[in-house]
Amino acid sequence: MGVTFSHGDARWSHTGFHAFRSRLAVQIGMSYSGISGPLRLDGHLCLHANTNTGCEVWDDPIVPLLDHSNCNIQLTPDECKTVAPRLRELVDEWGNFAAKLSFSFSFSFTDRDRELACDQMMGRRLASAMEKCAAAEECLTFQ
């Protein structure tokens, strides 16, 4: 089982996909810990932060990828068009672990390095699938 998509060959376990999206959230300054649940506020993700203001609004292009469960969800072609370049940008910031991993005999890799390399490779595959969906005017379905 796990998380697969209607287009492309990116895939994660449910736990792995949660960790991947959590890493992206932290990268844009959002923390998945302590969140009591997402709300929609004028089309933007609003997270309860248990503060006096009640929520913090996130307007980053990656938000549509973060704002749903792991399966039976669709991203529209417009969302795919917006999310894909931001996803590439974020995973590219992780360095080039995937290329280094192919030469693992000369590097010392931890399990975290391998996980990051796999997430980076799958993130790029997911971005490619989103680009194809946007070009074809098709939704990307999370299965």
| 42 within some domain | no
| 1 within some domain | no
| 92 within some domain | yes
| 5 within some domain | no
Helices 77-92 and 14-27, packing angle to 10 deg = 80
The DSSP letter of residue 11 is -
| 77 within some domain | yes
| 129 within some domain | yes
Task: Kindly report the pTM of this predicted structure.
Answer: 0.78
Q: Could you read off the pLDDT of 54-74 as tens digits, one per residue?
A: 556 677 899 889 877 777 789
Domain with 90, as residue range(s), is: 14-35+61-142
DSSP 3-state of 124:
helix
CA pair distance 89, 86, nearest whole angstrom = 5
Q: Could you read off the pLDDT of 95-124 as tens digits, one per residue?
A: 765 555 444 444 555 677 778 888 999 999
